[in-house]
């Protein structure tokens, strides 16, 4: 028999109960969730706000809460993600210091992008931590940089069960292939623009991607080439260290 630990944190336990409830029974109203877990509606609202932010829950226009992307079964990420995280962190921090914009790191998981690390910049108006977020790979800047390296046949195979035309996507990514970087101009979030480059594994294919993410109001065309050069330098250093460790 399992007994609750003596150090059980009620807030954490309640959040987990909400996530489980949504996964097993959603969609649900806020008042229903509060009643089921025996907590105040105000407490349920705070928990749900956090769960929505971390993508364990979503709220529709009808104000019903449903399980979010993080509660969907997903393909297991590459086991090299931890090594990529460790090697990339110092380079991400240095890049953030040079540009003073948030830097993100993602890995491809099937047709999704999983953000495994974020280094936030120091500005008041900035892109916040995206660690743990799951987004469609072909919408993110880093994801598009990764996909641009694939052939049309590879994209067709990758998206065979998705509502995405692999051959058309291959044509769309021709400029990304030519320039070596991709821009996400509010594809994933209104008011957010990102520039991404792929990070290649020692074996050749891309194992992840690094991106600069900023408020769209601060994005300008003039410094893009400078930003891209810094991104590519950081990615190259990560690739060199990954190759040394392999």
Looking at every residue in the chain, the average pLDDT score rounds to: 91
The pLDDT of 24-46, averaged and rounded, is 89
User: What pLDDT score does 77 carry?
Assistant: 53
Given this model, what pLDDT does residue 20 score? Answer: 87
Judgement on whether residues 43 and 103 belong to the same structural domain of the protein: no
DSSP string computed for 219-246? --STTHHHHHHHHHHHHHHHHHHHHHH-
Tell me, what's the pLDDT at 81? 87
> What pLDDT does 4 receive?
53
Location of structure tokens 């829950």: 57
15 burial type by CB count under 10 A (0-12 exposed, 13-18 middle, 19+ buried): buried
Provide the residue range defining the domain that includes 41.
10-71
pLDDT digits (tens, 9 = 90+) for 88-120: 999 999 999 999 999 999 999 899 998 989 999
State the pLDDT at residue 3.
Answer: 46
92 and 66, same domain (yes or no) = no
pLDDT of 79 reads: 65
Residue 73 has pLDDT above 90, yes or no: no
Number of structural domains (the chain) is 2
Helix or strand holding residue 136 (H, E)? strand 134-136
Do 62 and 150 sit in the same domain of this protein?
no
How confident is the model over 173-213, as pLDDT tens digits? 999 999 999 999 999 999 999 999 999 999 888 999 999 99
Between 75 and 121, where is the model more confident? Answer: 121
Quote the CA–CA distance of 103 and 214 in Å, as a whole number: 9
Q: Which among 21, 44, 71 is the end of a domain? A: 71
pLDDT digits (tens, 9 = 90+) for 166-175: 999 999 999 9
Residues 60 and 89 in one domain: no
Res 131: pLDDT: 85
**Is residue 66 situated within a structural domain?**
yes
Is residue 55 located within the same domain as residue 166?
A: no
Q: Please identify, among 20, 40, 71, the residue that sits at the C-terminal boundary of a domain.
A: 71
Q: Residues 93, 180: one domain? A: yes
Question: Within a domain: residue 92?
Answer: yes
Tell me which of 42, 71, 100 is where a domain ends. Answer: 71
Residue 215 belongs to some domain of the structure = yes
Contact (Cβ atoms closer than 8 angstroms) between residue 116 and residue 81: yes
CA distance 212 to 194: 5
Nearest to 127 by CA among 199, 30, 44, 195: 195
pLDDT greater than 90 at residue 217: yes
Tell whether 4 is covered by a domain: no
Do 171 and 222 share a domain, yes or no?
A: yes
pTM, to two decimals:
0.79
Percent of the chain scoring above 90 in pLDDT: 75
- Residues 94 and 209 occupy one common structural domain: yes
Whether residue 42 sits in one domain with residue 85: no
């Amino acid at each position: 028999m399992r007994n609750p630990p003596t150090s059980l944190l009620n807030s954490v336990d309640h959040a987990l109960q909400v996530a489980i409830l949504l996964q097993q029974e959603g969609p649900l109203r806020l008042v229903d969730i509060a009643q089921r877990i025996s907590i105040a509606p105000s407490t349920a609202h705070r928990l749900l706000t956090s769960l929505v932010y971390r993508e364990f829950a979503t709220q529709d226009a009808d104000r019903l809460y449903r399980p979010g992307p993080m509660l969907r079964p997903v393909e297991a990420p590459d086991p090299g993600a931890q090594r990529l995280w460790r090697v990339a962190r110092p380079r991400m921090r240095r890049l953030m210091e040079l540009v003073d914009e948030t830097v993100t790191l993602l890995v491809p998981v099937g047709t999704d992008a999983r953000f495994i690390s974020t280094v936030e910049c120091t500005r008041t108006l900035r892109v916040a931590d995206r660690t743990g977020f799951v987004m469609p790979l072909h919408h993110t800047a880093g994801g598009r940089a990764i996909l641009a390296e694939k052939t049309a046949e590879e994209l067709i195979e990758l998206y065979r069960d998705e509502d995405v035309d692999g051959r058309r996507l291959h044509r769309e990514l021709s400029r990304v292939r030519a320039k070596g970087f991709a821009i996400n101009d509010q594809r994933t979030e209104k008011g957010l623009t990102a520039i991404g480059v792929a990070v290649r594994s020692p074996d050749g294919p891309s194992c992840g991607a690094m991106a600069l993410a900023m408020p769209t109001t601060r994005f300008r065309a003039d410094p893009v080439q400078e930003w891209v050069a810094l991104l590519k330098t950081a990615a190259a250093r990560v690739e060199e260290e990954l190759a040394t460790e392999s």
